Amino acid sequence: MKLLTPLVAALALVFTPPSVQAVETEKTVNMSIFWLDGDIEPTSGWHGWTLTRCGIGENLLQIDENLDYKPVIAESWQKIDDLTTVFNIRSGVTFHNGRAVDAQAVKESLERAINITDRQDVVIPIDTISASGNTLTIKTTRPYATLLNMLADTVFIIVDAKAAEQDPAGFKYKPVTTGPFQVESFSSETGLVINKHTGHWAGEPQVDRINVKYISDASTRSMALQSGELDFAAQISPADLSILEKNENLNVITGPNLRIFHIRTNFAHPWMQIPEFRQAVHHAIHKDVYAEKIAGGIPARGPFNKLLSFGHQGDDSYPYDQQKAIQLLDDAGLVDTNGDGIRELNGQNIVLQYISMTNHGAQARNIGIAMQSELKKVGIGMDVKQMENFAEASKQGKYDFLFERWTSAPTLDPQYFLESSFKTGARGNSGQYSNPKLDALLEQMDNTLDGDKRAALGAKGAKMLMDDVAAIFLFYQRGNVVHNKRISGVHKFVSEIYYIDERLGLANE
Amino acid sequence: MFRTIVKKVPELILVMLAATLLTFFLTWVSPGDPAEIYFESRGIAPTADALLAMQSKMGLDQPFAVQYWNWLSGIVQLDAGVSLRTGEPVAQMVKQRFAMTFKLSLLAITLMLVLSFLLAIVASLNEGGPADYAIRLFSFAGVSMPDFWLGLMLILNFVVYLQWFPLTDPYALKSVVLPALTLAIPLTGRYTRQIQSMISEEMTKSYVVGARARGCTEWAIILQHVLPAILGGLTTLFGLSCALLLGGTVVVESIFSWPGLGSMAIESITHRDYPVLQAYVVIMVFIYVSINFIADIVAEILDPRLSLSGGKR
C-alpha cells in the first residue's frame, strides 16, 4: 500500500486533464494561432493581438479588411478642432460580465491603458478625457495626427477597468472585454477556449465555442487542416499552400500583408559608409528571385507596401545588374589588389557578416547563402550566420547585414516605422543610420494633421531610405488564411491584427 | 547494497551542486541582460528607469555569489523563479511539462520493452529463418530511420490520410500513440539486436544445455533461465534510455507539438528564458544522476556479485 500511494499520485498527475481542453459541440470551431505570449493582458506588449485575432477584444474603432477605419465601440467620431475629438459610444454594448459600456466605462478603460502600458510607442499626449452619457471627448495637449491610429492599437482594447482592478491577477488570463467571444480558459502552452458572448452588440454569434489552439509549427497547422482537425489557420508555409488549394474542403485566401522583410545595413563599418558600395551590393543581388522563389513573397520596392497610400508605386531603384555593380565598386576604388578574388579597403579584405535569427527560418539563411554566392561574383566576401540571440550581436554592431522583419504600418500610418527604425538614435536603428533630412521630415510629420500630407511625407521618407540604401528592402510577406468550408464569414485582413469577428458562422446554417 | 547507497549519495549531492554552480555561472556570463531580455521578449523598448527597476527586482545588481545563493535556495525549496517569457512560476511550468514528457516516455518505454523482448525471443528461437531475417531488417531500419522522418510519415499516414489520431490536442488520450511510436521504434531496433545477441550468448552456456537435457522447452528456457540472467546487463543501457526520454525528446516533441520538457527547452532557448533554462539543466542532471544511481542499485539486486566485487564486474 505504501508503494501504491506515490504510484497512484504520479499517475494522477500525468493523466489529470489540463486546464484547457478541446471541447466539442455541434457549433464548435477549431482554429489555430501561431503566436501566443504568457498572458492576454492587452496593455502589455503585443498581447492584445491575440484578443483581436480571436474576436475577444474590440477598440473604439478598428481597421477593416480594406484598410479603412471601421466603427466598433464608437459608432461615430468627429474632430471638433485640432485638439479635440468627440466619440459617440454605440448604444447596447455590454462587457462580457453584462455591465453596460458607456462613455465613462470607455474613459476608465483608456485611462487604465495609458497609465499601465509598458509600451513606449503608444504614448498619446492626452490632456483630458471626459465622459457624459454616451459622449466621450478626448483633448490632446498638442495637435496629434495619429490619435485615431493609436486608438486602433490593441493596447486600447476596451476592457472593464473595474473588473481588472478587482482581480488583476486573474484579469490577465481572462480579460473582461466586449467582443463577440469571451475567454473561458487560457493556457500559454496550448491556447484558449472561448465562448460566444450572447449579449454582443451585433447580435448573438452563430458559433457557440472556439478552441483556439496554439500551434507554432506551420507544417502541423497545415496537416491539421488537411485532417479536418482545424477549421481555420493562418500563416501556412507557401510550400504547403499548393497542397491545400487542391483540397476541396478548404478555402485558401492569400494576399499581401503589411510585413516588410529587409536587411538592415550597419553604417558603422567603413565600407558601408561608401554610398557606391551600398548601391553596388544592391545591384549585385537578385532580390526579386529571393522574394519569389525563396520566400514566396512579393518583391519590395521600399518599406511600405503599395497597398498603402504612402507605399512606393514605382520600379526598383537598383535592379539586378552585375556589371553595374562591378563598375560602381571599381569607380569607388574598391579593387582586388592581391588577386585572391576579394576586393579590399585600406588593405583589408571586404568580408561582410550576414546575420539572421533562427526563428526567421530557413528562408532567411537561404537568402544569405544566395547573396553570398552573388556577392562573390563581384568580389565581395560574406559570412552567413544564423543565431538564437542576435539582439546582442545587433547591439554590439557585430554585423554588416541583419535580416529583420517588421510590420511597417500596423495602424496605417508611416511615422511609426520610419521613426522607430531609422531616426537617428532610435532604439530600433541598430545600424546607426543617420540622415538629418529624414529626422527633420519626422519632426514635420509630428506637426502635420492632414492625412494626405502625412502620406506624402511618408512616401518621401521611404524614398530617402531607398536613395541612401539605408536597408535592402527584400519582400512583403504574402499572407494567407485557410479555412474549412464548413465555416463562413472569414475575411483576410491585410493588417493580420484580426482573424475572426462577429461575422464568423457555420456555412450550412 | 546499503554500502553502495551510503557511498553514492554524497557523490550524487556533490555532482548536483557542481552542476548547479556551472549552470548558473554559464548563464551569468552569457551575453545579454536578463532584464532587457524580459522587455525584448514582449516587444517592448524599456526606458532606462524601467530597466534599472527590473534589474533590481531580479536581483541582478547583487554580486554573483549572492545571486547564486538566492537561486540555489529557491531551487532547494522547488522555487526556480519566474519565466521571463510567460511570467509563470517556473516550477509550475516544469511540473506540467514533466507530466507530459513522463506520459510520453512511459508509453514509449513500455512499447519498446514489450516489442524488443518479443522480437528478440522470436528471432533467437528462429535463428537463420525467415522470421529472424525479417526482425533483423526491422531492427536495422528502426535504428537507421531519423526520428523526424518517421514522425512525419506517421502523421501523414495516420493523421492526414486515415485520420485515426488527433494532432492538435496533446491532452486527448489517443494523442500519445504516434509520438510514443516515433520514440519506441528506433529504440526497439537497438534493443532487439542487443537482447538477441545476449540471448544467443547465454544459449551456449552449460546451464542451458542442462535444461535442454532435462527436457525443458526452448520458450521455457528463455523465459525462466536466460532472461533473468541477462537483465542485469541491460540495466545501465535501459537507465540511460529512460533518462534520455525523460529529458525531453526535442525533435519528436516539436513535430507533434507536444508540450513536454524538450519543447520547453527549445522555447526557453529561443526566448533566452534563463530561469526556465537553468531549471531544465538542473532537472536533466537530477534525472541522469538519479537514474544512474537507481540502475546501479537494481543491477546489484539482480546480480549480487556486483556488490561483492565492490560494484565492479
Q: Per-domain residue ranges for chain B? A: 100-264
Q: Which three cell numbers stand for residue A409?
A: 504600418
**Residues in chain A closer than 8 A to B160 (CB atoms):** 223, 226-227
Could you tell me where the beta strands, DSSP code E, fall in A388-455?
A: 401-407
**Residues in chain A closer than 8 A to B102 (CB atoms):** 10, 14
Q: pLDDT tens across B106-145, in order?
A: 999 999 999 999 999 999 888 888 999 999 999 999 889 8
Is A94 a domain residue?
A: yes
Residue B311 has pLDDT above 70, yes or no: no
- Considering only CB atoms, A223 lies closest to which of B40, B47, B167, namely B167
Q: How far is A292 from chain B (nearest CA, A)?
A: 27
Nearest of B81, B62, B84, B85 to residue B73 by alpha carbon: B81
User: Would the CB atoms of B87 and A358 count as touching at under 8 Å?
Assistant: no
**Residues in chain B closer than 8 A to A118 (CB atoms):** 39, 42, 44, 46, 50
Nearest of A474, A462, A482, A53 to residue A259 by alpha carbon: A474
Is A21 a domain residue?
A: no
Distance CA B121, CA B275 (A): 47
Distance CA B263, CA B104 (A): 13
**Residues in chain B closer than 8 A to A215 (CB atoms):** 168, 257
User: Residue A87: helix, strand or coil by DSSP?
Assistant: strand
Same domain, A289 and A420: yes
Q: What is the mean pLDDT of chain B?
A: 85
Give kind and range of the element (H or E) at residue A187. Answer: strand A181-187
pLDDT band for position B266 (cuts 50, 70, 90): confident
Same domain, A459 and A500: no
Is A451 a domain residue?
A: yes
Residues of chain A short of pLDDT 70, as ranges, are 1-25, 388-392, 509
Chain B interface, mutation test: which of A188, A244, A421, most B Cβ atoms within 10 Å? A188
The pLDDT value given to residue B313: 44
Other Cβ atoms closer than 10 A to A294: 20
Same domain, A162 and A301: no
Q: Give the 3-state DSSP-derived string for A266-278, with helices as H, strands as E and coil as C.
A: CCCCHHHHCHHHH
pLDDT band for position B308 (cuts 50, 70, 90): low
Residue A31 neighbours by CB under 8 Å, 6+ apart: A54, A210, A211, A212, A213, A230, A231, A232, A233, A499, A500
The pLDDT value given to residue A379: 96
Other Cβ atoms closer than 10 A to A242: 9
CATH of the domain at A455: 3.10.105.10
Portion of chain A with pLDDT greater than 90, in percent: 68
Residue B2 has pLDDT above 80, yes or no: no
Is A13 a domain residue?
A: no
Q: pLDDT tens across A384-398, in order?
A: 998 866 666 777 778
Same domain, A127 and A234: yes
The pLDDT value given to residue A3: 46
Q: pLDDT tens across A397-451, in order?
A: 789 999 998 888 877 889 989 998 999 998 789 899 999 999 999 999 988 888 8
Q: How far is A358 from chain B (nearest CA, A)?
A: 8
Q: Give the residue from chain A lying closest to B42, CA to CA.
A: A45
Same domain, A227 and A308: no
CA B178 to chain centre: 17
Q: How many CB pairs under 8 A join A and B?
A: 108
The pLDDT value given to residue A317: 84
CATH of the domain at A176: 3.40.190.10
- The range of the structural domain enclosing residue A139 comes to 28-249+485-506
Average pLDDT over residues B200-206: 86
Is A171 a domain residue?
A: yes
Q: Which three cell numbers stand for residue A296?
A: 514566396
Q: pLDDT tens across A84-129, in order?
A: 999 999 999 999 999 999 999 999 999 999 999 988 778 899 999 9
User: Would the CB atoms of B102 and A10 count as touching at under 8 Å?
Assistant: yes
Same domain, A242 and A268: no
User: Would the CB atoms of B155 and A223 count as touching at under 8 Å?
Assistant: yes
Q: How far is A33 from chain B (nearest CA, A)?
A: 12
Q: pLDDT tens across B272-296, in order?
A: 788 898 899 888 888 888 888 888 8
Residue whose entry in the numeric block shows the C-alpha cell 525523460: B246
**Residues in chain B closer than 8 A to A193 (CB atoms):** none
Distance CA A423, CA A403 (A): 19
In DSSP terms, A211 is beta-bridged to A30, A193
Q: Phi and psi of A121, rounded to 5°?
A: -85, 0
What ranges in B64-173 are assigned the alpha helix state H? 64-76, 90-125, 130-144, 147-154
Q: pLDDT tens across B238-248, in order?
A: 888 888 888 77
User: Would the CB atoms of A223 and B83 count as touching at under 8 Å?
Assistant: no
Q: Give the residue from chain A lying closest to B272, CA to CA.
A: A389
Average pLDDT over residues B249-253: 85
User: Residue A403: helix, strand or coil by DSSP?
Assistant: strand
pLDDT band for position B45 (cuts 50, 70, 90): low
**Residues in chain B closer than 8 A to A119 (CB atoms):** 43-44
Residue B306 has pLDDT above 80, yes or no: no
Distance CA B123, CA B140 (A): 14
**Residues in chain A closer than 8 A to B257 (CB atoms):** 215-217, 220
Same domain, A267 and A243: no
Residue A186 neighbours by CB under 8 Å, 6+ apart: A20, A39, A40, A173, A174, A192
pTM of the model: 0.80
Distance CA B135, CA B151 (A): 21
What is the total count of domains within chain A?
2
From the candidate CATH numbers 3.50.50.60, 3.30.70.20, 1.20.1250.20, 1.10.3720.10, the one assigned to the domain spanning B100-264: 1.10.3720.10
Q: What burial class does residue B161 get, using C-beta atoms within 10 Å of its C-beta: 0-12 exposed, 13-18 middle, 19+ buried?
A: exposed
The pLDDT value given to residue A389: 64
The pLDDT value given to residue A398: 82
Chain A interface, mutation test: which of B29, B30, B100, B168, most A Cβ atoms within 10 Å? B168
Portion of chain B with pLDDT greater than 70, in percent: 94
ipTM over 0.85: no
